[in-house]
Copies of this chain bind each other. A is one copy, B any other.
Amino acid sequence: MKLDINAANEKTLEIMKSGQAELVDIKPARDVIPGMTENTILHAGPPIDWSRMCGPMKGAVIGALIYEGRAKDETEAAELAASGEIEYSPCHHHNSVGPMAGIISPSMPVFVLKNKTYGNYAFCTLNEGLGKVLRYGAFSQDVIEKLKWMEKVLAPTLQSALTISGNIDIKGIIAQALHMGDECHNRNKAATSLFIREIAPSLVKVQEKTDVISDVLDFMNGNDHFFLNLSMPAGKAILTPASGIEGSTVVTAMSRNGTDFGIRVSGTGDKWFTAPAPKVEGLYFPGFTDDDANPDIGDSSITETTGYGGFAMAAAPAIVQFVGSTAGDALNFTKKMYEITVGENNSFTIPSLNFRGTPTGIDIRKVLELGILPQINTGIAHIKPGIGQVGAGLVNPPQKIFEDALITFAEDYNL
């Protein structure tokens, strides 16, 4: 039988469109993430070992080892990290995703999302907020203390609230937020607000001191990116069943470890196609320049892979203040993405395009035919460990990985 790539791609798109993403639990990573051992550290992007890790990822690993009580300081942590004792593995190999360095260690609490259409799960840590945070490679005492508070207070309190509220429809919140100026990658202000509205009535019923409940609300209210760590696993939950579709040229992961940029394609299964991660074109915080910028890093481009984030920038004209661009560009980025995608997601619509669905399902054939690369917007980490975020901007994956993917696809299918 002749391979029908278009039909395979349509099937992949249908799986993506029919996927769901509900927040069903919050648990320590060790208790829920498949394959997580006490020596496992998960990271963003395609596979990488300690020696090739970039500065911010090394910083985050150091922080995680201190946080886990495996090392008392940076020196000890760096020794342990390089010792061979730690098993590094991509989040993506464990149904997980992580922003920026994407480090997940066993004690970290994670959101548990379920795609109820297909029964699969996805996992992501809770967002730490802005400033000095582990995901950007910072590991000072205050960073570790905040992670401990998130483990001991934030996560169990939210978990108790979730038990009262029942599952929360994260896909539904993303859909609403796209009508409220978010694209749910670098702008999550509306989605964060909607999540707080949804959980607050249950949160106040949790048997805890009112100061604790108030702190939890304050923490979420103080961080417009809180929802990012729900938006990302929603994409992962939706994409997992879309992977491994015979003959499909649809991208199922775009991901960066700060050294390499990697993609996976549905029809070639779990193989990674990688090339050096590019620099991000963006706006820098005062006091920082291009020289401070680490190459592109993080699993957050799962959002673009699922059809929102940079692909839905037309829904979020205000984001141009953050990533450096114009409202017209935001509209054009989305319009361009229609050219390289299989179709539109009628669950995610864009008011300013008269409620057209977001461009969904990147087809590597179209990317190469038209020479149009997927548009990603993203944060920028400092190149050294221990510092943090220095800006935000726009980036495209290297063209080479799409070429490599298509060559492998052709070989796999004897084309």
**B contact residues around A214 at 8 Å (CB):** 201-202, 204-205
**B contact residues around A220 at 8 Å (CB):** 197
A326 to B351, CA, bound (A): 9
Closest residue of B by beta carbon distance from A206: B210
A47 contacts partner chain B, Cβ-Cβ < 8 Å = no
Residue in B197, B221, B331 whose beta carbon sits within 8 Å of that of A201 in the complex: B221
**B contact residues around A407 at 8 Å (CB):** none
A48 contacts partner chain B, Cβ-Cβ < 8 Å = no
A367 contacts partner chain B, Cβ-Cβ < 8 Å = no
**B contact residues around A217 at 8 Å (CB):** 197, 200-201, 204
A338 to B217, CA, bound (A): 40
Query: Are A352 and B180 in touch, CB under 8 angstroms?
Result: no
**B contact residues around A194 at 8 Å (CB):** 193
Which size class do A's interface residues fall under?
Answer: 35 or more
B-contact bits for A146-166, CB 8 A (1 contact / 0 none): 000000000000000000000
Query: Are B197 and A193 in touch, CB under 8 angstroms?
Result: yes
Closest residue of B by beta carbon distance from A203: B204
Closest residue of B by beta carbon distance from A179: B318
A323 contacts partner chain B, Cβ-Cβ < 8 Å = no
Query: Are B218 and A210 in touch, CB under 8 angstroms?
Result: no
A194 to B180, CA, bound (A): 12
Residue in B213, B327, B351, B354 whose beta carbon sits within 8 Å of that of A181 in the complex: B351
CB distance from A87 to the nearest CB of B (A): 40
CB distance from A224 to the nearest CB of B (A): 10
A190 contacts partner chain B, Cβ-Cβ < 8 Å = yes
A317 contacts partner chain B, Cβ-Cβ < 8 Å = yes
Q: Which 3 A-B pairs have the closest CB atoms?
A: A193-B193, A317-B351, A318-B351
**Between-chain CB contacts (< 8 Å), 7 pairs:** A180-B189, A193-B196, A198-B221, A200-B200, A327-B351, A327-B355, A352-B352
- 4 further contact pairs, Cβ within 8 A, besides A181-B181, A193-B193: A181-B190, A204-B204, A205-B214, A327-B353
